[in-house]
């Protein structure tokens, strides 16, 4: 009979072989690790000693119950072999962490708690697991601007991503509704741009819409972000920062009007949502300020990719500004579109000179100006990704359907507030990034896939976890597993996997629907259908042929 824990691993490993017997951990648990595995071994000891109450200590390989062996290379593959004497994980250093998290899934689910439960036998079934990911980019974006997420929320989310072998956390740090990163050269970004007086109810699109009357805000200090980066790196996750330019810049221009298109115009941090015409200007003093901001950002985030947004930027403010038109003439630039190309090229070169790569939303492919190693995130469907790949650029697939987890998980009126209906767990699991790819020879440019947690209508931490899980579990398997099971088999495995999330305390959506206290009710979180997913997809498909948003 298959061992239940071995048969319910998520994401699905490439090869699993069950053997007879089991490994029972007893204090003191000896852990052996070579030099390249020391950091991962330390993490294993800290996490498991807290959860199990067992004492973990370093030991010689011959006496150890857990052995970590580093192989050469930078692949994420790993081999885990468990017998009655020991568990041995062999992998390049970047893959060892995945082997550790698979071992944790083989132990009783209570090892995801923060303190030991009485009477648990800490055993793992004898087996061999050989595994490697399909994609190198397995990401999740969290929008911390529309509704701020405290540092501890981000750290907790990193733990959950690591549990599912996800390896990219994309933080959306600036938008019209808030600026969330401390920049020492420009203190008004945190003094003014980091908070707003209230927030429109639902997907409010006008300052005249009803609002909650409650101030909202917050920001991360540079040390907070360094802590997040280090915490994530220890768990095999790279943090990608995003500063959205030139659009979605209302909060920035509220703090520094001289960086906007009309400096005499009074702008306040956005309290409602949608596409704003408050762009930064492309004048020399603003370009210099943005370079200073990015230099401070690069000192915090070591990731090779720096996300500069580039989405939903209507260019009429550039067309209508006398100062911008005069500057364009001085450069010999004939149109706002050409100025947008210049803007992108400038920052692509700026990042390249510092050893970094620009990544942005798929509108940037229409204007040009990208460096050869730039990358795009294809969000308006898949056309942008195909176009970028055909032009030789790397691509991350992040289409609204089915990777936007701000859409409801069903069409039931019981669901809590969401931006529209509906992207189901089955929709996510069925996603095959290559299915509609016309020229399969360019699919090799696809780095991977990413889900998006936009937070206009995701109001608090519990709501965030509800919208994310278990859909993150499904996307993790899309991103990791070369060969997937059918949805029914996945759902059966997931039913057991959710016990692990229970022990961690995740506010996930049960498979049968929301719990009574998770429903939208009739108040602040009442379910509203702002967008019908089919209509939204048709609109996005038409818009995908151009860069500037139709307003």
For residue 39 the two structure tokens come to 């950091």
- 181 secondary structure, DSSP code: B
Element (H, E) at 394: strand 394-397
Catalytic residue check, 175: yes
- The answer to whether 43 and 78 are in contact (CB under 8 A) is no
Phi, psi of 516 (to 5 degrees): -55, -40
Q: Which of 169, 148, 149, 174 is nearest to 159 (CA)?
A: 169
The SS3 call for residue 114 is: coil
Task: Exactly one of 312, 337, 394, 465 is catalytic; name it.
Answer: 312
Q: How far apart are the first and last CA of the chain?
A: 60
> How far apart are the C-alpha atoms of 463 and 461, rounded to whole Å?
5
Q: Which regions of 410-541 does DSSP assign to beta strands (E)?
A: 420-421, 446-453, 531-532
Angle CA(345)–CA(549)–CA(384) in degrees, nearest 5? 60
Element (H, E) at 428: helix 425-429
> How far apart are the C-alpha atoms of 483 and 481, rounded to whole Å?
5
Element (H, E) at 92: strand 87-92
Q: Which of 271, 272, 530, 520 is nearest to 417 (CA)?
A: 520
Q: Which residues pair with 16 in a beta bridge?
A: 129
Kindly write down the DSSP assignment for every residue of 420-445, as one continuous string.
Answer: EE---HHHHHT--TTTT-S-GGGGGG
Kindly write down the DSSP assignment for every residue of 245-306, as one continuous string.
Answer: ESSS-HHHHHH-GGGBS-TTS-----SS-S----PBP-SHHHHHHHHHHHHHHHHH---SEE
Catalytic residue check, 248: yes
Can you list the alpha helix ranges (DSSP code H) found in 107-257?
151-163, 188-191, 222-234, 250-255
Task: Exactly one of 98, 172, 195, 248 is catalytic; name it.
Answer: 248
Catalytic residue check, 312: yes
Can you list the alpha helix ranges (DSSP code H) found in 18-150?
38-52, 93-106
Q: Which of 90, 71, 53, 79 is nearest to 132 (CA)?
A: 79
Task: Exactly one of 76, 81, 175, 363 is catalytic; name it.
Answer: 175
- 404 secondary structure, DSSP code: B
Angle CA(204)–CA(548)–CA(357) in degrees, nearest 5? 100
Give the active site residues: 175, 248, 312
């Amino acid at each position: 009979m298959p061992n239940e824990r071995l048969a319910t691993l998520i994401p699905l490993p490439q090869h699993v072989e069950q053997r007879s017997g089991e490994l029972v951990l007893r204090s003191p648990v000896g852990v052996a690790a070579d030099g390249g595995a020391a950091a991962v071994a330390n993490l294993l000891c800290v996490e498991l000693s807290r959860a199990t109450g067992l004492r973990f200590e370093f030991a010689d390989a011959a006496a150890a119950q857990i052995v970590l062996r580093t192989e050469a290379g930078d692949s994420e593959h790993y081999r885990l072999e468990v017998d009655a004497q020991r568990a041995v994980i062999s992998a390049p250093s970047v893959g060892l962490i995945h082997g550790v998290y698979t071992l944790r899934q083989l132990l009783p689910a209570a090892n995801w708690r923060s303190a030991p439960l009485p009477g648990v036998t800490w055993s793992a079934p004898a087996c061999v697991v050989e595994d490697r990911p399909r994609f190198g980019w397995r990401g999740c974006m969290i929008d911390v601007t529309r509704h701020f997420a405290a540092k501890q929320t981000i750290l907790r989310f990193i733990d959950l991503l690591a549990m599912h072998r996800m390896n990219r956390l994309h933080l959306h740090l600036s938008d019209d509704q808030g600026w969330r990163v401390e920049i020492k050269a420009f203190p008004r970004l945190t003094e003014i741009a980091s908070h707003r007086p209230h927030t429109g109810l639902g997907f409010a699109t006008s300052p005249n819409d009803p609002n909650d009357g409650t101030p909202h805000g917050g920001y991360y200090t540079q040390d907070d972000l360094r802590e997040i980066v280090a915490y994530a790196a220890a768990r095999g996750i790279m943090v990608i920062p995003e500063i959205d330019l030139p659009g979605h810049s209302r909060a920035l221009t509220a703090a520094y009007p001289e960086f906007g298109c009309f400096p005499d115009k009074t702008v306040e941090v956005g309290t409602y949502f949608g596409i704003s015409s408050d762009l930064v200007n492309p004048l020399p003093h603003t370009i210099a300020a943005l370079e200073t901001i990015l230099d401070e950002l690069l000192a915090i985030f070591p990731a090779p990719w720096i996300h500069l947004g580039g989405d939903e930027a209507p260019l009429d403010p550039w067309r209508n500004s006398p100062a911008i038109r005069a500057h364009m003439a001085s450069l010999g630039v004939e149109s706002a579109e050409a100025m947008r190309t210049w803007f992108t090229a400038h920052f692509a070169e700026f990042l390249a000179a510092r050893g970094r790569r620009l990544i942005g939303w798929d509108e940037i492919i229409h204007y040009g100006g990208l460096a050869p190693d730039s990358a795009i995130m294809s969000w308006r469907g898949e056309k942008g990704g195909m176009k970028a790949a055909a032009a030789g650029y790397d691509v991350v697939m992040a289409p609204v359907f089915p990777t936007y987890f701000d859409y409801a998980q069903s069409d039931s009126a019981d669901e809590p507030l969401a931006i529209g209906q509906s992207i189901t767990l089955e929709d996510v699991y069925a996603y095959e990034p290559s299915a509609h790819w016309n020229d399969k020879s360019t699919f090799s440019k696809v780095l991977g896939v990413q889900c998006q947690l936009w937070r206009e209508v995701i109001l608090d931490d519990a709501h965030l976890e509800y919208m994310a899980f278990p859909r993150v579990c499904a996307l993790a398997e899309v991103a990791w597993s070369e060969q997937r099971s059918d949805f029914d088999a996945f759902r059966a495995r997931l039913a057991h996997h959710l016990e692990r999330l229970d022990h961690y305390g995740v506010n996930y959506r049960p498979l049968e629907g929301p719990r009574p206290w998770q429903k939208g009710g009739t108040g602040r979180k009442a379910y509203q259908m702002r967008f019908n997913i089919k209509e939204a997809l048709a609109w996005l498909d038409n818009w995908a042929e151009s860069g500037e948003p139709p307003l």
